[in-house]
């Protein structure tokens, strides 16, 4: 395995009872990527992450993380990676600094490096003024940043973040992404799962998971550009009524409302004019329509419904 690859999986599968949570996953993620695993609830995102973090063993298949086998070298993988679960893994009755010290013990960070590292992580996450506050009394955004700081205490090469921004407000989310990009610049590989497509758009690579299988993996821009179906943005005086009407018309695969615009996915270019004409005939005034690059949401909803 070459040094340029951070994560590689081969036929990775996990079965719980009769349910296949992860099905035959083959995937490669290069070092220095910010990879986003996207998919609906129950798609298998968390299971993949736990397998790669060597918290769980696969039913079949294999994977290598930082060049180490998840089935044979799980303990060594833990030294190379940071992992933040959906609950941030914090001790709410410990203070900010005590949480960091606890993780430093857990990861056996050498005594002489500790204070420099905790100071740096506190600064980096803007938590220095709150270091004596109990974790349980932090806001959602601050808990998230502390969770991240704890996952970074042993300067891992690869960082796993499981739906890190659930319930976090936009300003804190923006800060959090700034931190992720700073880590990326330092060469850390980041593997993040999310159910939010505006967040997936910020990743350098994304994989779309559905019912345990990886349906697609590419750069966000390339995924949007290679979407085979025409997407037309229609501007009318009543987007909602237009949406209701369009959904039941022949040749329309889906429609969604974006403010006063409608994005309509067509099964082929031929149906476009007919649909626009029928909309006009139903009394909806069509102000304008034009072909657009689809949003990731347009792409994924069409794929998941296929």
Point out which residues bind other proteins (CB under 8 A).
Answer: 32, 34, 39-42, 139-141, 166-174, 178, 181, 184-185, 195-198, 201-204, 219-221, 240-241, 243-244, 256-260, 297, 300-301, 304-305
In total, the chain counts a number of residues equal to 306
Whose Cβ is closer to other proteins: residue 65's or residue 245's? 245
CB of 41 to other proteins, least distance (A): 5
CA distances to 247, 263, 302 from 48, in Å: 35, 32, 23
How far is Cα 261 from Cα 265, in angstroms, rounded to an integer? 13
- Rank residues 69 and 204 by Cβ distance to other proteins and give the closer one: 204
Instruction: Name the H helices within 95-136.
Output: 96-106, 111-124
Phi, psi of 149 (to 5 degrees): -60, -40
Q: How far apart are CA 279 and CA 193, in angstroms?
A: 39
Q: Is 71 helix (H, G, I), strand (E, B) or coil?
A: coil
- The token pair at 227 is 């979407």
Report, in Å, the least distance between residue 95 CB and other proteins.
20
193 near 49, Cβ under 8 Å?
Answer: yes
Whose Cβ is closer to other proteins: residue 68's or residue 301's?
Answer: 301
Q: Shortest approach of other proteins to residue 294 CB, angstroms?
A: 14
Q: How far is the CB of 196 from other proteins (least distance, A)?
A: 7
Helix or strand (DSSP H, E) at 206:
strand 205-210
Measure the CA–CA gap between 40 and 31, rounded to whole angstroms. 26
Output phi, psi for 125, to 5 deg: -100, 10
Based on CB atoms, which residue is closest to other proteins, 69 or 241?
241
Minimum CB–partner distance for residue 233 and other proteins (Å): 12
User: Least CB distance from residue 57 to other proteins, whole Å?
Assistant: 26
Q: What is the closest distance, in whole angstroms, from the C-beta atom of residue 137 to other proteins in the complex?
A: 13
Q: Which is nearer to other proteins, 120 or 247 (CB)?
A: 247
Which residue, 89 or 140, is less far from other proteins as judged by CB? 140
Q: Whose Cβ is closer to other proteins: residue 34's or residue 276's?
A: 34
The full 3-state SS of 244-266, as one line of letters, equals HHHHCCCCEEEEEEECCEEEEEE
Residue 218 burial by CB count (10 A; 0-12/13-18/19+): exposed, middle or buried? middle
Quick one: 138 or 276, whose CB is closer to other proteins? 138
Query: Which of these, 216, 215, 203, 231, lies nearest to 295 by C-alpha position?
Result: 231
* Least distance to other proteins, CB of residue 130, Å: 14
Contact in structure between 191 and 38 (CB atoms under 8 Å): no
């Amino acid at each position: 395995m070459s040094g340029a690859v951070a994560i590689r999986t081969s036929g990775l599968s996990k079965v719980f009872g009769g349910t296949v949570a992860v099905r035959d996953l083959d995937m490669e993620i290069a070092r220095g990527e910010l990879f986003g695993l996207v998919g609906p609830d129950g798609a298998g995102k968390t299971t993949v992450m736990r397998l790669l973090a060597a918290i769980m063993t696969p039913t079949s298949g294999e994977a290598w993380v930082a060049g180490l086998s998840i089935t044979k070298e799980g303990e060594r993988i833990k030294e190379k990676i940071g992992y933040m679960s959906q609950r941030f893994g914090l001790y709410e009755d410990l203070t900010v600094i005590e949480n960091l010290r606890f993780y430093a013990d857990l990861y056996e960070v050498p005594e002489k490096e500790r204070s420099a590292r905790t100071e740096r992580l506190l600064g980096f996450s803007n938590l220095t003024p709150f270091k004596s506050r109990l974790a349980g009394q932090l806001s959602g955004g601050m808990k998230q940043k502390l969770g991240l700081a704890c996952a970074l205490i042993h300067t891992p090469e690869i960082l796993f973040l499981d739906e890190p921004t659930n319930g976090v407000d936009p300003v804190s989310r923006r800060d959090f992404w700034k931190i992720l990009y700073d880590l990326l610049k330092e060469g850390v590989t980041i593997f993040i799962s999310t159910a939010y497509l505006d967040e997936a758009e910020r990743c350098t690579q994304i994989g779309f998971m559905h019912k345990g299988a990886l349906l697609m993996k590419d750069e966000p821009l390339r995924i949007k550009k290679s979407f085979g179906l025409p997407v037309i943005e229609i501007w009318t005086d009543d987007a909602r009524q237009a949406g209701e009407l369009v959904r039941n018309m022949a040749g329309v695969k889906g429609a969604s409302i974006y403010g006063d615009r409608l994005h309509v996915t067509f099964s082929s270019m031929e149906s476009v004019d007919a649909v626009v004409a029928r909309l006009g005939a139903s009394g909806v005034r069509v102000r304008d329509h034009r072909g657009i690059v689809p949003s990731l949401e347009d792409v994924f909803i069409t794929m998941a419904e296929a």
